[in-house]
Amino acid sequence: MSKTFKVLLAGLVLVLLPLGASAQGRIAVVNLEEAILQTDEAQQRLSGLREAEDYKADKAELDRLGSEREALIKELQNDLAVMSPEQQQAARKRLANKNADLEHVLRKLQQAEQELGQQLLAEMTPKVQAVLRDLIQSEGIGLLIQRSAVIHADNGYSITAKVTDKLNQQAAAE
């Protein structure tokens, strides 16, 4: 086959592909995690987590460590030229220890939020499946793809906000 024929054939396939897809139904993408985590229920529970005493204490510790880290960096920048090599090494070690402490507290906060997110995903999966079935039928969706599996999709293909809205409507009706 000539190169020109291959290019024409590829072009024809690209032109006809949307026609075949529309004959089979609409294509849509959804970010299920985002749809769930943007619900009113998820936002309330996340707010509740952030208001918990343990979380607040860890957040305050994170802020304090961040301030101390910034002060150490300024001190190191200002005094580096007049410090002995031993003093420089000690200051760098203090900074490394502060960074390690900061990362530890940050991981604790992130883990608490991730655990809540996983719990919400597990609890809401049956509701999401029902909402997706309804949307697939009512919108004539022939192909639904998880957003993370797509390289590019215009926002017009996304039904994530619709899933969130329907989940909020269901929760309000309960």
Average pLDDT over the chain, rounded to an integer: 86
pLDDT for the residue 21: 43
User: Domain for residue 31, yes or no?
Assistant: yes
User: Domain for residue 2, yes or no?
Assistant: no
Question: What is the rounded CA–CA span in Å between residue 61 and residue 46?
Answer: 19
User: Domain for residue 59, yes or no?
Assistant: yes
* pLDDT tens track for 71-95: 989 988 888 888 889 988 998 899 9
Q: What is the mean pLDDT of residues 138-160?
A: 92
User: Domain for residue 147, yes or no?
Assistant: yes
User: Domain for residue 86, yes or no?
Assistant: yes
User: Domain for residue 130, yes or no?
Assistant: yes
Q: 0.95 cut: is pTM over it? A: no
pLDDT for the residue 75: 87
Asked if residue 96 has pLDDT above 60, the reply is: yes
* pLDDT tens track for 40-74: 999 999 999 999 999 999 999 999 999 999 998 99
Q: At what angle do helices 40-51 and 85-139 cross, to 10 degrees?
A: 160
User: Domain for residue 30, yes or no?
Assistant: yes
State the total domains in the chain. Answer: 1
pLDDT for the residue 81: 85
Asked if residue 129 has pLDDT above 90, the reply is: yes
Query: How many Cβ atoms from other residues are within 10 Å of residue 39's Cβ?
Result: 22
User: Domain for residue 11, yes or no?
Assistant: no
Question: What is the rounded CA–CA span in Å between residue 95 and residue 164?
Answer: 43
Question: What is the rounded CA–CA span in Å between residue 126 and residue 69?
Answer: 45
DSSP string, 29-85: EE-HHHHHHTSHHHHHHHHHHHHSHHHHHHHHHHHHHHHHHHHHHHHHHHHGGGS-H
State which residues form the domain around 74.
17-173
Phi and psi torsions of 25, nearest 5°? 125, 170
pLDDT for the residue 24: 64
* pLDDT tens track for 16-49: 344 444 446 799 999 999 999 999 999 999 999 9
